[in-house]
Amino acid sequence: MTSARLKPLPRLAAGLLLSLVSAAACERPVEPAPAPAETAPAASARPAARADKPAPRDIPEPTPAPAGDEAARTRGTVVLVPLKSFPEDLIADIETSLAAEFGVEVARYDIQQLPKEAYYPPRKRYRAEKLLDFLEELPPAREPDTKLLGLTEVDISTTNEPHEDWGIFGLGRMPGRVAVLSSKRLKRKAKDRAHVIRRVRITALHEIGHTFGLDHCPEQRCLMQDAEGSIKNTDTASGTLEPGCRAKLERNAPLR
């Protein structure tokens, strides 16, 4: 799949607004308690990952998109929306990865300022569900077969009962049109830049997977596996959908 540039459309096109999809959000909590702001990353309220999990290994580089007739078939378009700022090397890798793994066209939208209404002063971070609401209002979200992925470097959070404000890697509506990820916590204790890129890649694929209706996967190393309270499952993920999730993706959104 190729990557395209998408310029913002006039906001006056409100008449084209589709009904917003209301669905469960993927909560990937990344801290053991709501009080400290700089807790080690975790991604779920579930128990910590089992100690007998396979040792981390390099995630393979994204497979090139198929050529010929297969390359012309897509599941739609994913529009990348930088929120305030996002590094170019991470964006480029996300573009390639989404096209290869999900069979989508990828476009970029102009940088957007973080919405003030999403800011959470007590923790000095941004509420992910409000960022999703903001993305839902952008013109590309009104186009058929189009999803938006917000990309930010600031810390984000959501509610994870009983905690009102829980730091996360990303959030995606399932099924839905919008997802968001933050590189803030994915950079913590990374070995090098390549390690950061891999973590961001897995998180981007995971959250877009939710928008296609893919829930957390019980298969070890599937990119849709629940993080189970730490970064470990992200680091040991294969970078691809395992057979069960692949089959569900084909049922939910076949190539056209």
Catalytically active residues are 207
State which amino acid sits at residue 238. S
With contact defined as beta carbons under 8 Å apart, do 237 and 223 qualify? yes
With contact defined as beta carbons under 8 Å apart, do 216 and 34 qualify? no
First to last CA, the chain: 13
* Residue 95, H or E segment: helix 88-102
Residues 158-179 as b or e (16 or more Cβ within 10 Å = b) = bbbeebebbbbbbbbbbbbbbb
CA 152 to chain centre: 11
Three-state SS for 59? coil
With contact defined as beta carbons under 8 Å apart, do 139 and 107 qualify? no
Which residues lie below 8 Å from residue 205, measured CB to CB, with a gap of 6+?
Answer: 97, 98, 101, 102, 223, 239
Q: Judging by DSSP bridges, how do beta strands 163-168 and 170-174 pair with one another?
A: unpaired
* Nearest partner of 123 among 160, 90, 156, judged by Cα: 156
The label of the residue with tokens 């399932």 reads 174
* Nearest partner of 56 among 180, 194, 169, 167, judged by Cα: 194
